[in-house]
Structure 1
Amino acid sequence: MTGSTSSDQATRIRRAIDRMRKELPQLSEIFDAFEDLSAEQEAFRTILPNNNEKEYVIDPGQFRDGLPLLRKEDFTVDFSYLRQAADRMIPAMIKGFPSIQQQLELLDKALRRNDSFLLKSLAVMPVGTDTELETLAARLQMDSGILKFTMLQLVKPFAAKQAEMAAVSLDALSWQKGYCPVCGSWPELGFLEGKEGRRWLRCSFCSHEWTFMRTKCPFCETDDHEKMELYFSEERSHERAELCYQCMRYLVSIDLRDLADDVVREVASLGLVYLDILAQEKGFSPASMSATLLASG
């Protein structure tokens, strides 16, 4: 957000979570767990340098056919920034998730060591393979699931900044896929806005947002309306789980058109956890494991 400071962004996140906490007190544990972490992530993203000098070579035909802009290698992280992220975010995670404090402290100590193999491995970990993850977790004596969750949180501000800079190159190009045009990850959240109810999807990894047809499942691309259902509670009908009976996956979403209050998209998924639970109880699976689902699952 242009002109805003790191402190401004942290305050914006905290106010949004406080508002959701008052509306949905039954989700207070989720809000309490993620408040400090979410605020630190957004504040840190704000102070990261812009990478305006990088040029992205795009083949319009390949892009139109579904090849995302960035490769796995584009999301490797400079270690000095990773260390700064850990200094700010690991204490927030320890506060929010005290049950994994010892595991988080193991990673914190590892990040302070001058082990070249370890530093290189950690830099690519968020987009690494399961085998690489298991190998590194064993070396660190950490649970692989906790390592994955933690590294994703540390790298998320970098990914968002990278996407913010790269997205400028996509303005004139057409994208018709349900996965992210920047990094290729699945969405964690959908939105409807504007008079025509234009549908937007938000990436689970780099936070980029793109438009997608309302009548299609973003995961299997079926447009058979008989195989899709909107699942919601009468009390909060603007919040939905979009269910697809063809691929048995779902996406949580918000209809913004009639809402008086602004929705802070960086943390909106925290207030939709109740829909995740209901959809999964009905046998549907999320296409992306957001931070909330990784932590609660």
Structure 2
Amino acid sequence: MLADPVDIARALGLPPGAEPAREALGDAPGAPERWSGGGRAVIVRRPLGAEAAQNHAAVFEALANAGFPHVPRLLGFSGLATIEEEVPGLTALQVEPPPGAAAAAIAALAAWHALPLREGLGWERSPDELLPECPPPLYRLGFAAPEREAAAPGFAAAREALLATPFGFAHRAATAASVLLAPGRAWLVHFAAAGFGPQLFDVAAFLLTSGLDAPARRVLAMEYARLRGLDPAATADLVDLAGIVWGVDELLWLPRRQVEALGDDAALAALHLAALRVERGMREPAGDSPAAGAIRRALWG
């Protein structure tokens, strides 16, 4: 149980002594919970680990205080657990994105990145420290020495290019699992990792894990650029490049996430689906970056 039932009853507006019903939304430790009563329902989240839970709560409160419209309404706290309104959205790991939902998610990320907030993790670190290791340990993904050596210059060029992209307030885990979608609408959730980071990684993470094909990813990356006042074509190339760098790092962390999700079949299936989409998306060009082309030729021919 992530929260005190008394706090939940208060958030639901139940009379004293009323007991809300609890439903775990997963079998892994720390999975969100749905509490209901009086014809209403709320979602409770408390990530595992004190730092993650504190960061999630602090970022959520900062977003609420800023009036950010692209998250569920924060109704209160129970210890470090957040109590949020239930919204009528599902992730792209559960359903095909409904009409207008992917564009709404991109608009939500663009609005997040424009927030003048200095909250969350990583603000003491430099952009160079926040980018993944270069070259990445590709041997852990099964690439042979000649492939790794051929890809190394491309990853070095990618690092230089990405260091010049926007860094600032970022979600830092904006995969499809963290974006709830409905027709023409999107809500960002899960703020345990939020803070200072490379903002194009958020865009790449959502686009790759949502199962969109390369042309659709490019269109949405260009829309993000327009919303941020950036060059559309150049930004789409950089989002494609960021997708390779982020995607490799995401696949390197996959075994740990699978261990953390043991016992939760739905969570494991979602991780597997996201990983398949990431691997497929990294192979399919959605831009014309020379560094991305060099990496693709070296690793996938």
Same fold (TM over 0.5): no
TM-score normalised per structure 2: 0.27
Q: Which has the higher contact order (CA 8 A, sep 6+)?
A: 2
TM-score normalised per structure 1: 0.28
